[in-house]
Amino acid sequence: MSHPNASLTMLRMPAPFSSTFTRSAAILALCLSFAAFGQPTDGDFAAARDAYRAGDSARLERLAPRLKGHLLEPYVAYWRLRLKLDDADPSTVRAFLERYADMPLADRLRGEWLKSLGKRGAWELFAVEYPARAADDVELACYAAQFQLQRKREGDNPALEVRRFWFSGHEQPESCQPIFATLLAQGVLSTRDVWARFRLAHEAGNFRLAARIVAELPAPERPSLREFQRIDRGARVTLVKGEFRWTAQSDRELALYALDRVAQTDVTAAHDAWAKWRVRLPEADRLYGNLLVAYSAARQLVPAASDWYREAEGAALNEAQRAWRVRAALRAGNWAEVGQAIDAMPTDEALEPAWRYWKARSLRALGHDADATRLYGSLATEQHFYAFLAAEALGASVMPISEPLTPEPAALTAFAAREAVQRVVRLSALDLRPDAQREWVAVVRGLDDDGLLLAATFAQSNGLYDRSINTAERTRRRHDFALRYPTPFETEIEAAARDNGLDPALVFGLVRQESRFVSDIVSGAGAVGLMQLMPPTARWVARKTGADARSLRLDNPAFNVRLGAYYLRYVLGKLDGEPVLAAAAYNAGPGRAQAWRGNAPLEGAIYVETIPFNETRDYVKKVLANAMFYQARLGARYVALHDRLGVITPRGAAADIEKSVEKSAEKSVDPAADGGADSSAAVPDASPTERPEPER
Nearest to 199 by CA among 148, 257, 249: 257
Q: Give me the catalytic one of 227, 337, 439, 514.
A: 514
Nearest to 608 by CA among 656, 567, 641: 641
545, exposed or middle or buried, with CB in 10 Å at 0-12, 13-18, 19+? middle
C-alpha span between 569 and 377 (Å, rounded):
36
**Phi and psi at residue 404, to the nearest 5°:** -70, 160
* Angle subtended at Cα 315 by Cα 314 and Cα 321, rounded to the nearest 5 degrees: 125
Contact 670, 540 (CB under 8 A): yes
C-alpha span between 98 and 110 (Å, rounded):
11
C-alpha span between 71 and 25 (Å, rounded):
18
Number of Cβ atoms within 10 Å of the Cβ of 667: 17
- Name, in order, each residue with C-beta under 8 angstroms of 146's C-beta and a sequence gap of 6 or more: 118, 123, 175, 178, 179
* The one-letter amino acid at 21: F
With the CA atoms of 120, 124, 127 and 128 taken in that order, what torsion angle do they form, in degrees rounded to the nearest 10?
-110
Contact 114, 140 (CB under 8 A): yes
b/e 128-146 (16+ beta carbons within 10 angstroms → b):
ebbeebeeeeebbbbbbbb
Contact 505, 634 (CB under 8 A): yes
C-alpha span between 492 and 431 (Å, rounded):
24
* The one-letter amino acid at 503: D
C-alpha span between 581 and 575 (Å, rounded):
6
648 membership: H or E segment, kind and range: strand 647-648
Number of Cβ atoms within 10 Å of the Cβ of 263: 27
- Name, in order, each residue with C-beta under 8 angstroms of 396's C-beta and a sequence gap of 6 or more: 1, 4, 5, 6, 7, 380
Work out the end-to-end distance of the chain between its first and last CA atoms, rounded to an integer number of angstroms: 39
C-alpha span between 364 and 644 (Å, rounded):
22
C-alpha span between 167 and 608 (Å, rounded):
31
Nearest to 516 by CA among 503, 531, 534, 500: 531
C-alpha span between 407 and 326 (Å, rounded):
47
Q: Can you count the helices (H) and strands (E) in the chain?
A: 39, 2
Residue 174 designated active-site? no
DSSP-assigned states of every residue in 414-436: HHHHSHHHHHHHHHHHTT-HHHH
Contact 498, 504 (CB under 8 A): yes
C-alpha span between 371 and 364 (Å, rounded):
8
Contact 264, 277 (CB under 8 A): no
Active-site residue list: 514
